[in-house]
């Protein structure tokens, strides 16, 4: 046998060596602890490596930059969020709740998620070298697809005019929830999460009413 055929769709990158896997876990634990103690932003990559007792090279071999590390830390919670949302949307769908109402519900959940993970999300956005980005926007990307999907279904169901630009509308509804923009609203404008949720719901409602 020359090479095992890749069967799994996801994360089949021919497994890390044992020491590598151990270090990945160690680094994630260390980072999480330091973040809890000092907050995300002030902790440096060098500090994480040092406290974990490995060289910087090792740290950077696992995580190309601080953003990737933060994303890894968020990964489990992101998966959980996605699962719970898919589930809730399915339930709403079974109860034949209109798509635009599902959308409002989903946006509310995204607000909560953003609120909860603001520091990590800001850091992820910060350390994403412009042209790269691909997977760093993963949280946003999934949210975008979901919102876009709900909008299109709403259009198909006649809840929303079919000539509305669904991709743009999806982006516009999520734009206030981009980490830095959201933080600005929270910290400088003094908006509460509820206020943001309500505001977005209202926009969605009015879009429906206009159709």
Partner DNA sequence: ATACCAAGTGGACTTCAGTCCGTTTTTCTG
Partner DNA sequence: CAGAAAAACGGACTGAAGTCCACTTGGTAT
Binding segment for DNA among 19-27, 73-81, 106-114, 138-146 (CB under 7 A)? 19-27
Is residue 70 within 8 Å of 40, Cβ to Cβ? yes
Work out how close the CB of 196 gets to a copy of itself at its nearest, in angstroms, rounded to a whole number.
7
Residue 20 binding DNA, by CB under 7 A? yes
Element (H, E) at 42: none
Binding residue for DNA, selected from 54, 72, 92, 118, defined by CB under 7 A: 54
- Interior/surface letters 70-93, b for 16+ CB within 10 angstroms, e for the rest: bbebbeeebeebeeebeeebeebe
Work out how close the CB of 31 gets to a copy of itself at its nearest, in angstroms, rounded to a whole number.
20
Query: What is the per-residue DSSP string for 83-128?
Result: HHHHHHHHHHHHTT--HHHHHHHHHHHHHHHHHHTHHHHHHHHHT-
Rounded to an integer, what distance in angstroms lies between the CA atom of residue 121 and that of residue 142? 14
Nearer to a copy of itself, 89 or 196 (CB): 196
Which partner from the list DNA, a copy of itself, none does 86 bind, CB cut-off 5 to 8 Å by kind? none
Name the 3-class secondary structure at 25. Answer: helix
Residue 96 binding DNA, by CB under 7 A? no
Which partner from the list DNA, a copy of itself, none does 185 bind, CB cut-off 5 to 8 Å by kind? a copy of itself
Q: Which residues bind DNA (CB under 7 A)?
A: 14, 16-20, 22-23, 44-46, 53-58, 60-62, 64-66, 127, 129
């Amino acid at each position: 046998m020359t090479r095992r055929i890749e069967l799994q769709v996801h994360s089949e990158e021919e497994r890390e060596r044992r020491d590598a896997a151990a270090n990945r876990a160690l680094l994630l634990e260390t980072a999480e602890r330091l973040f809890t103690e000092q907050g995300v932003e002030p902790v440096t990559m060098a500090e994480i490596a040092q406290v974990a007792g490995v060289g910087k090279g090792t740290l950077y071999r696992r995580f190309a930059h601080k953003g990737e590390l933060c994303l890894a830390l968020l990964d489990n919670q992101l998966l959980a969020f996605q699962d719970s949302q898919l589930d809730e949307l399915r339930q709403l769908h079974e109860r034949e709740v209109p798509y635009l109402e599902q959308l409002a519900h989903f946006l509310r959940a995204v607000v909560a998620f953003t609120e909860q993970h603001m520091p990590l999300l800001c850091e992820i956005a910060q350390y994403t070298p412009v042209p790269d980005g691909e997977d760093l926007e993963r949280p946003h990307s999934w949210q975008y697809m979901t919102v876009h999907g709900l909008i299109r279904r709403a259009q198909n169901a006649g809840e929303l005019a079919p000539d509305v630009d669904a991709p743009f509308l999806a982006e516009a509804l999520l734009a206030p929830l981009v980490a830095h923009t959201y933080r600005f609203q929270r910290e400088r404008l003094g908006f509460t999460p509820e206020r943001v949720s309500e505001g977005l719901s209202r926009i969605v409602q009015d879009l429906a009413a206009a159709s």
